A and B are shown apart, each in its own frame.
Chain A
Amino acid sequence: MHLQLTQEQDLIISMVRKFVSQEILPLELTLDADADELPEEDKLRLVAKIKEMGLYGLDIPVEFGGPELDMVTRTLIAIEMSKHRAGLYSPCYGVFGGAGLAQLFEANEDQKERYLFPTLRGEKKGFFGLTEPSGGSDPARAIQTRAVRDGDDWVIDGSKIFISGADKADFGLLFARTSPEKGRGGVTCFIVDTDTPGFHVRRVVHTLRSAKYATELQFENMRVPNANILGAANKGFAIASDRLNRQRIPYSAGCIGVAIKAHEMAVEYSKIRETFGAPLSSRQAIQWMLVDNEIDIKQSSWITLEAADRVDQGMPFRKEAAMAKLVATEAASRVVDRSLQIHGGYGVTKDFPFERWYREMRIRRIGEGPSEVQRHIIAREILGSSLL
């Protein structure tokens, strides 16, 4: 793997770093400690700046108007974008734009007209509905929501949980079992309009993220036209699986960005905070914490960038993406914990970002597949699924 940054990558990274320090950090000081949105006028102003920089819609393919970025550059940007208080779940408060739902790039032309293009224009919002009360780590087997064919429609009954944004969405991608006997080969992805009779957002699910909630959904006799199947019937699991694999790389990068910021703050604080007549940085206990931070950040960065590089080289990356997700989330959790410890009492106050990172980082070891599932994926890649 070649890790020397190109001149273009260097330029982009410096640009994003400057944007975060000059635009995001000062603005963040004026917001609630748990905020994950900017006031509308600030958001519009910053989105315009990002568009001028040519970096709006980072995950949108170039043929749909996104910037042409390789995965290594995308990963480096994700690290820079997350170096602030809200950076883990709301990097730069969303001013770089999103891709909407990446699966829609594979939609047919009619579906693109109805869902993808309005989403890219900011006219529609979508949600991703996979996890169910019966489990999220093994969606192929846990999915109990059923879709039964009835003429030109499918009738869907069931529920979903931990779904972000469904209460504000115009449509969603919903995974349902269409052939119960086929296991992972019996799951279909439907595009569902949220105003369809039988679609209910039953409740808000509060989590460690104090500004962002998930929702619980219920579907009762909900009729969805056959034309709203994304891809083909019984091929939905591949759509979900591809998204989960690819998403693990920027997900890991976000953790690394926060870890770097936490570490930088801990280094600075250790130099100015004195105990018993000497700065904290002169204490071996503190030095070792900082050394361990440095090693955790370096290891997780290398593993994540290697996974990104394999994507760019067109090589298989499932194992490396799982390793990145496993290592980055666990390493960043340790870095945030040590950096908080170095800050003492201040570390647990809302005056500093550590308590928020500490809470939110805990979710990262579960979201997008918990650490144990990542180990399972890696073991399967090493041993072959038949030997497990």
Chain B
Amino acid sequence: MSLRLSKQWVPLNPQSAGQLKGELGVFQLGNENKEVIYIGSAGSRSQFGLRGEITKHLKDAAFFRIEVTSAYSTRFQELLMLHHADFGCYPTLNSESDTAKLGKLSPMGK
């Protein structure tokens, strides 16, 4: 598993989101420029896993990409900390409750 989520972006629409499986994992939403605007996770209380969570954001973003993982909680935190380390801020659509208790990383490279 690479440190950062670097999979191909997929256009976000009802069809692409509907094709996702109901797995646990993390995802990123991107704007038209494929800049990360939100990092989310599908945990054990998410109905229909990644499909359910990403479908909630159809109006928020232009692209998405996912990573299926049972470590959805720690990976979610890691991606947010990496984003902060890389850009000096958190994604614009993430709430304060997502980031309030996060730590600080100083990863090698970018």
| Residues in A lying within 8 Å of B, measured CB to CB | 31-35, 37, 165-168, 200-204, 206, 209-213, 215, 350
Contact = CB atoms under 8 A, between A and B. Distances in A.
Contact of B73 (A34, A168, A202, A203): A34
Contact of A32 (B45, B78, B105): B45
Contacts of B64: none
Interface residues of B, number: 22
Interface class of chain A by DSSP: loop
B104 A201 contact: yes
Contacts of A211: 73-74
B75 to A, nearest CB: 7
A33 B44 contact: yes
A41 to B, nearest CB: 12
Given A203-B107, A213-B78, A350-B44, A168 B72 contact: no
B43 to A, nearest CB: 5
A34 B77 contact: no
Nearest to A195: B104
B43 A202 contact: no
A202 B72 CA distance: 20
Contacts, number: 62
Contacts of B103: 165-168, 201, 215
Interface of B: 1, 3, 43-45, 70-75, 77-78, 81, 101-108
24 contacts: A31-B45, A32-B44, A32-B73, A33-B43, A35-B73, A166-B103, A167-B104, A168-B103, A202-B105, A202-B106, A203-B3, A203-B107, A204-B74, A204-B81, A206-B71, A206-B78, A210-B71, A210-B72, A210-B74, A211-B74, A212-B74, A213-B71, A213-B77, A350-B44
Nearest to A31: B45
A168 B43 CA distance: 23
A360 to B, nearest CB: 13
Top 7 A-B residue pairs of the complex, sorted by shortest distance between their CB atoms: A167-B103, A33-B44, A168-B103, A350-B44, A213-B74, A204-B78, A211-B73
A98 to B, nearest CB: 16
Given A202-B108, A203-B105, A34 B78 contact: no
Contacts of A202: 105-108
Given A32-B45, A202-B108, 17 more contacts: A33-B43, A34-B44, A34-B72, A34-B73, A167-B102, A168-B102, A168-B103, A200-B106, A201-B104, A202-B105, A204-B74, A204-B78, A204-B81, A206-B1, A212-B74, A213-B78, A215-B103
